[in-house]
Amino acid sequence: MEFKLIDIPKIEDRRGNLSVVEGDCVPFDIKRVYYLYDVPSGAFRGGHAHKKLYQFLIALSGSFDVHLKDGKEQKTITLNKPNIGLLIVPGTWREIDNFSSGAVCLVLASKNFDEDDYIRDYQDFKVYKGL
């Protein structure tokens, strides 16, 4: 399964920490930025895959679980540090749940929104992957 946890540079200071996403930190040009917040207890987000879109997820606040599937394997990653991002490559099914109170999930995306890039049914995803 292809995904990558990437350390985001952190500048520590007695006044508070600062992290910067620039240069080679994210391996694609950022075309879209959005964030998830106020997710109710027990709810989940995602439940889809993308054909061409790369995404980079960061837990700006709190924590949440990202469940990744490639059709053969599955992996759960807990994001809970604002200086670590999760790179999700095209062709990866994802679901996000277990949001802590006050959690904020920042998503940096390689493309603008395109409904045709989404695979929203898991059986269709398996067909897309040739499984």
Residue 80 lies in a domain: yes
Q: pLDDT for 77-115, tens place per residue?
A: 999 999 999 999 999 999 999 999 999 999 999 999 999
**Active-site choice (32, 48, 126, 129):** 48
> What per-residue string of b and e applies to 17-29 under the rule 16 or more CB within 10 Å gives b?
eebebeeeebeee
Give the domain range for residue 41: 3-8+31-128
First vs last C-alpha separation in the chain? 15
Q: For residue 21, tell me if it sits in a domain.
A: no
Residue at 74: amino acid letter: Q
- What is the CATH number for 74? 2.60.120.10
Does residue 97 sit within a domain? Answer: yes
- Is 67 an active-site residue? no
Number of domains in the chain: 1
The percent of residues above 70 in pLDDT, for the chain, comes to 100
In-domain check, residue 15:
no
How many CB atoms are closer than 10 A to CB 131? 10
- Is 18 within the bounds of a domain? no
- What tens digit of pLDDT does each residue of 6-45 get? 999 999 999 999 999 998 899 999 999 999 999 998 999 9
Judge whether 25 lies within some domain.
no
pTM: 0.94
Residue 26 lies in a domain: no
User: Has residue 13 been placed in a domain?
Assistant: no
120 Cβ contact partners less than 8 Å away, ≥ 6 residues apart? 47, 48
